[in-house]
Chain A
Amino acid sequence: MIEVSHLTKRYGSHLALDDLSFTIPEGQIYGLLGPNGAGKSTTMNILTGCLAATSGQVRIDGVDIFEDPMAAKKHLGYLPELPPLYMDRTPEEYLRFVARAKGVGDVPGELERVMALTQITDVKDRLIRNLSKGYRQRVGIAQAILGDPDIIILDEPTVGLDPRQITEIRELIQKLGENKTVILSSHILSEVQAVCDSILILSRGKLVACDTPDNLERLLTGGTALELEADTQPERLEKILGNLPGVTGLTVGETADKHAWARLETGKENLENLSKAVFFRFCDEKLPLLRLTPAKASLEDIFLELTGGKEA
């Protein structure tokens, strides 16, 4: 459980975090989303005690990170944006050091458990310098989950990895999220959407939204629309759809492969009725429908809308 209240961070005259408040319950995967420079890394650095805040409070499992950092850090595992690895050591040596520093150096099997979970057992005796980026990232994650902390904070864990490695790391995160609180930051929407239970959206140091991906979509989708495609000319399509009940707006056009498309705007409740009406109207006209889909705002749209659209 993480409670953040009125967190503010200033770098000279630059306000990096502006009165941030949120609570993250246990056992969930939270995504911290925002364009570059929104304050994601700053937030994570403060949550983990690496950075001091200008004002505000952070409580990790009820312990204030500024007042009792030693106790609070015992609940935390942190993977910074650049994995803090010693290139001239092997993963095993490196993890042994971290385990000792965390006070779990004597726990039997802990190192093996973590290495197996992150699948780095095969490379444990190679120098970290010689490992691929994906493996280095895993060693970084292994370091974070050593000692079985309740809260795992990962700053852009998949950045710079190839698609297969991204999938593997995501699966690992989901596995961790089954019984831990995980916070991960990203500026990639699909990633957050794929693994997170909830999303926090940051923009210019402010928290602009905090909800589940579904709710965010629902919340920000004002009207609803139907999109359809038929094997005819746009003019005919416009005539057929012209006097349907409940339609608040109609746009028609031609697709690249000479089909006609239309977009019908309507109120939220009418979507199903409108679909039926469109279907029967096309039946009457003996015109085959090629496509009929409800259109809703994507998270991408929401993100752009909330963060001002420029830096995204």
Chain B
Amino acid sequence: MGSVYRHELSSAFTGLTAYVFSAFLLLFGGIYTMAYNISMRLANFELVLQSISFLFIIIIPVVTMRTLAEERHQKTEQLLYALPLTMTQVVVGKYLALVTQFLLPVAILGLYPLALKLFGQVPMEAAYAALTGFFFLGAALLAIGLFISSVTESQSVAAGLCFVVMLLNYFLESLAELVPGTAAASLAAFGAIVILVGFGIYSMTKNAVFSAVLTMLALAGNLLVYAWRASVFEGLFASVIRELSLFSRFYTFVTGVFDWTAVVYDLTVIALFLVLTVEAMEKRRWSE
């Protein structure tokens, strides 16, 4: 794991990705600090972090796109398979290298509240709670980006796909509010998702019967619950989506609350996507 980590990190710093990562966050971090904290004389650094969190939509695809897709494209993944390394070591090593690249701008942003403090009162706890939330949000999104990079051979496809997923993530809450609060609308939305997941399972397992049966069962389950007590579904879709949104959980930090559940949720997302990435890599050993 250490070898992959060091290799990835030195590649990132030999190339541009690590610098792009830092430069982007710091440039916009600086602009918003100027605007909010200096021009508008607000003491809250959290607002800066909230404002620059939209940058993830762009940077996450850029820094994660090549991580595994390029290995596959250049056939260097053969080396990773042949070396005495487990796929878990490879994936975790690569992921930690990404997180380290992210940690650099986060650490520099961490100096801003200290600098601002020289000129007046700054709510430090709130600022650093928000920074922690910001870090975990980024770390979770990096894990998603890494997974997307593992399912395709092309960097541009990985970047495009990742961009769409990040965009969806960012606007998830607003999108969820578009779904009417009625029970029937929720049921329809869940049905659509079940069918989508069914297709996803089919594309991964290539087992039509298995995925069809699973989809049918899930749909039937939904219908049964709906028939039993339709009121359960009222507004359910929107609230589930809100719970799933990584960004909305980060905004809780911005309001000054250190939300442990959000940290746990982010860690769960990280673990889930790392496991999925390892599985995606292992699967290729079987099918190609």
Interface of A is mostly: loop
**Known contacts A82-B75, A101-B4: does B11 contact A89 (CB below 8 Å)?**
yes
Inter-chain contact B6/A100, CB cutoff 8 Å? yes
- In this complex, what residue of A is CB-closest to B76? A84
Inter-chain contact A73/B7, CB cutoff 8 Å? no
Inter-chain contact B76/A78, CB cutoff 8 Å? no
Residue from A70, A86, A87, A105 within 8 A of B86 (CB atoms): A70
**Distance between Cα atoms of A165 and B6 in the complex (Å):** 33
- In this complex, what residue of B is CB-closest to A146? B83
**Distance between Cα atoms of A68 and B127 in the complex (Å):** 49
**Distance between Cα atoms of A216 and B74 in the complex (Å):** 39
**Distance between Cα atoms of A71 and B285 in the complex (Å):** 18
**Distance between Cα atoms of A105 and B83 in the complex (Å):** 13
B82 on the A face (CB < 8 A): yes
**Distance between Cα atoms of A80 and B82 in the complex (Å):** 9
Contacts of A93 in B (CB 8 A): 10
A51 on the B face (CB < 8 A): yes
Contacts of B3 in A (CB 8 A): 97, 100-101, 105
Residue from B10, B74, B83, B288 within 8 A of A101 (CB atoms): B83
A292 on the B face (CB < 8 A): no
Inter-chain contact A49/B82, CB cutoff 8 Å? yes
A76 on the B face (CB < 8 A): yes
Inter-chain contact A73/B76, CB cutoff 8 Å? no
Residue from B15, B84, B285, B288 within 8 A of A88 (CB atoms): B15
Contacts of A85 in B (CB 8 A): 74, 76
Smallest distance from the beta carbon of A181 to chain B beta carbons, Å? 16
- In this complex, what residue of A is CB-closest to B10? A93
Contacts of B4 in A (CB 8 A): 101
Provide the B55-85 mask, 1 if CB < 8 A to any CB of A, else 0: 0000000000000000000111111011111
Smallest distance from the beta carbon of B205 to chain A beta carbons, Å? 14
Contacts of B30 in A (CB 8 A): none
Residue from A50, A97, A98 within 8 A of B285 (CB atoms): A50
**Distance between Cα atoms of A78 and B77 in the complex (Å):** 13
Q: How large is the interface on A (under 10, 10 to 19, 20 to 34, 35 or more residues)?
A: 20 to 34
**Distance between Cα atoms of A98 and B86 in the complex (Å):** 14
Contacts of A250 in B (CB 8 A): none
A158 on the B face (CB < 8 A): no
Contacts of B286 in A (CB 8 A): 51-52
Provide the B272-287 mask, 1 if CB < 8 A to any CB of A, else 0: 0000000000000110
Residue from B10, B11, B75 within 8 A of A84 (CB atoms): B75
- In this complex, what residue of A is CB-closest to B81? A50
Centre residue among B4, B7, B14, B285 by max chain A CB count within 10 A: B7
**Distance between Cα atoms of A86 and B66 in the complex (Å):** 13
Inter-chain contact A101/B85, CB cutoff 8 Å? yes
Inter-chain contact B11/A86, CB cutoff 8 Å? yes
Smallest distance from the beta carbon of A43 to chain B beta carbons, Å? 14
A259 on the B face (CB < 8 A): no
B2 on the A face (CB < 8 A): yes
Q: Which of A159-216 contact B (CB under 8 A)?
A: none
Contacts of B11 in A (CB 8 A): 86, 88-89
Q: Which of A95-135 contact B (CB under 8 A)?
A: 97-98, 100-103, 105
Smallest distance from the beta carbon of B186 to chain A beta carbons, Å? 41
A28 on the B face (CB < 8 A): no
**Distance between Cα atoms of A101 and B4 in the complex (Å):** 7
Contacts of B86 in A (CB 8 A): 70
A307 on the B face (CB < 8 A): no
**Known contacts A86-B11, A100-B2, A100-B3: does B82 contact A48 (CB below 8 Å)?**
yes
A-B contacts besides A100-B6, A101-B83, 14 pairs, CB < 8 Å: A50-B78, A73-B82, A74-B84, A78-B78, A80-B78, A82-B75, A84-B74, A84-B77, A85-B74, A85-B76, A93-B10, A97-B3, A100-B3, A100-B7
Q: List 23 A-B contacts (CB under 8 A).
A: A50-B82, A51-B288, A52-B285, A52-B286, A73-B82, A78-B78, A80-B79, A82-B78, A84-B74, A84-B78, A84-B79, A84-B82, A88-B11, A88-B14, A88-B15, A89-B14, A97-B7, A98-B83, A100-B3, A101-B85, A103-B84, A105-B3, A143-B79
Interface residues, chain A, with chain B CB atoms under 8 Å away: 45, 48-52, 69-70, 73-74, 76, 78, 80, 82, 84-89, 93, 97-98, 100-103, 105, 143
For the complex of A and B, the 7 pairs showing the least CB-CB separation, nearest first, are A100-B3, A84-B79, A50-B81, A73-B84, A101-B3, A97-B7, A84-B76
